[in-house]
Structure 1
């Protein structure tokens, strides 16, 4: 079975085989096209992870801002944990800084919808664009007042 068909039938075996070929310097035997696709996919996964973490943070910040009577330690902890997770993810993937604008826009669009669905507040009540800069949403001293 060649590397390309192994890619389709047993990804784990293919990955191990390709790693061994690369380590041995056998680039001519490696499945370069699929290796390149997988590396690109890994990069996209890291960006999706950033959007997902931002979505959680923004969702909780919106609830915090628009439901002051329901604020509590659970929400405070969720916001603090989200900030820490984003900080770690950005430290591990510093080049994602160049994707922050689009990532925040994508995450906010989703978080706005999530907050409306969860709180029962009309989506139109929430700002159309993210009301916080990245620095503000990450700042431990920023707690939106509604």
Structure 2
């Protein structure tokens, strides 16, 4: 095991700094390639997990807005969906920020929406106690609508 590989296990910050120095100096043969590849792979996985997680929450709240909000607003005049709106706004902001920082994720958005949607339906079903059949089988929102700050679905 090289000194850098050992450093990876004992002082990650110093390991990262040393690898950066070696890259700047173009001393490629001294790099800890195995751990660098592992870290780069994990970074991509982490960004994709965050994309999926934030889309899941956003889609679940859009579903609740569309299918439960009208029911609650009719029953309780004081219910205005403020907390749901806050969550929708927050998730859209966080997603926009994530996509600005990791623009390579843009190509994964459509697939991530499709993957997150069934989980969002399960979450909306559990939180609202509405039958699963209440919600469309396929995501009813376009990519543009999901990210549009002014889009809030209307009751069916």
Measured against the shorter chain, the TM-score band is 0.7 to 0.9
Tell me, yes or no, if structure 1 residue 64 matches structure 2 residue 65.
yes
Cα shift at 1:107 = 1.7
The yes-or-no answer on 1:123 pairing with 2:124 is: no
Distance of 1:145 and 1:95 partners within structure 2: 32
Q: Do residues 111 (structure 1) and 111 (structure 2) align?
A: no
- Superposition RMSD in Å: 1.9
Report the count of equivalent residues.
146
Give the match for residue 5 of structure 1. Answer: 6
Distance in 2, Cα, partners of 1:5 & 1:128: 50
Task: List aligned pairs for 1:1-146, cutoff 5 A.
Answer: 2-67=3-68, 68=70, 69=72, 71-146=80-155
Helix, strand or coil at the partner of 2:97? helix
User: Displacement, 1:7?
Assistant: 2.6
Counterpart-to-counterpart distance in 1, 2:98 and 2:111: 16
DSSP-derived class of the 1:20 partner: helix
Q: Distance in 1 between matches of 2:23 and 2:149?
A: 44
Q: Which stretches in structure 2 are left out of the alignment for 5+ residues?
A: 74-79
> Shift in Å at residue 32 of structure 1?
1.3
